Amino acid sequence: MSWTFFFDYVTITFLPVDFLLGIVPYNSSIMDQRIDKAAALANAAMYNSEHIKKYVHGAPHVKHAALRKMYGRMVADRYNYATHYFSVPRILDLGAGEGSATRQFLDLGAKVMAVDISNDQLILLRKQCVNYGDRLETRCEAVVEALRSLQRDGKQFDIVVANSFLHHIPDYLELIRLTGGVIAPHGQFFSFQDPLRYDSLSKATYAFSILAYFCWRIFQGDIIGGIRRRIRRSKGIYITGSMEDDAEYHVGRNGVDQEAIQKLFSELKFDCLIVKYFSTQSPFWQKIGSQLRIKNSFGIIAKKIN
């Protein structure tokens, strides 16, 4: 993604913007299908092959060895659990992107359907996974639309994956409800790399995240552009059709509400575990934050109760 856009991404994803600027978070109940469409189209435009290297440079879960190892262990655990019930687990990878989740499940022997709105990323993914043959299926479509279509067709999956994805979705709770309709008995929902709800963090965690972010951000360019966007948004001004505003919809809300997600999974008859950890862009601050056991990001492991 472009650095113009990336300033918005990391600021809102990992930092308490409402704490910094006094922004009142938007209420997700007012979001409608037009907003979903705008967000999906903006993500398609921003996440194309031209920007993948820059994305990796600023994506902690891809960049840092410790987070990659943590994620790899969680993938293996989810796969091993699934094999108790399914000989060849079927994976639905939502917002598959560059394929950090897809490839690991393919390596373990699963069948994967990778869904993404960006055709460029799916083309790259197919090239990287050519040796897996027909165990990989790709689908270029907005995720919400794909879930509704799969549910109508009666398709079911043993694991639904949302890797660094929920924070891109205007109504992520509705998306999770939709996944419940395509998860098979004994199936699982698995997500990783989303920002904890900002007002659930301590002020010390706020301050440390801010420090870590800005020590990294100062060297990434487009400082003036990023500051201008923050000032504009602090006044409640969001530009319709702006790729920066639409692609990262959480610019106007209080992070991702892990407590609401856990409550929803309980209502859907899932056992849900929230896994909290520290995540930032700088390798130096990532190491310090991890040693201090600071938590500002989370993953989800939800198992369907039968």
Q: Kindly report, residue by residue over 250-271, the tens digit of the pLDDT.
A: 445 678 999 999 999 999 999 9
How is residue 211 written in tokens?
A: 């420090």
What's the mean pLDDT in 74-96? 96
Within 8 A by CB and 6+ apart from 272, the residues are 261, 262, 265, 266, 300, 301, 302
Query: Is-contact 130 138, C-beta < 8 A?
Result: no
Query: Is-contact 188 34, C-beta < 8 A?
Result: no
For residues 62 and 287, the model is more confident at 287
- Rounded to a whole number of angstroms, the distance between the first and last alpha carbons of the chain is 41
**Number of domains comprising the chain:** 1
pLDDT, position 42: 39
φ, ψ dihedrals at 108, nearest 5°: -80, -15
Name the pairing type of β-strands 270-277 and 157-163: unpaired
Q: What does the alpha-carbon distance between residue 80 and residue 73 come to, in Å, rounded to a whole number?
A: 10
pLDDT tier at 85 (50, 70, 90 boundaries)? very high
Q: Where does residue 222 rank: exposed (0-12), middle (13-18), buried (19+ CB within 10 A)?
A: middle
pLDDT, position 99: 85
CATH no. for residue 266? 3.40.50.150
Q: Kindly report, residue by residue over 37-71, the tens digit of the pLDDT.
A: 434 443 444 444 455 555 555 577 777 889 999 99
pLDDT, position 63: 77
Closest CA to 37 of 115, 122, 144: 144
Structural domain for 131, as ranges: 3-304
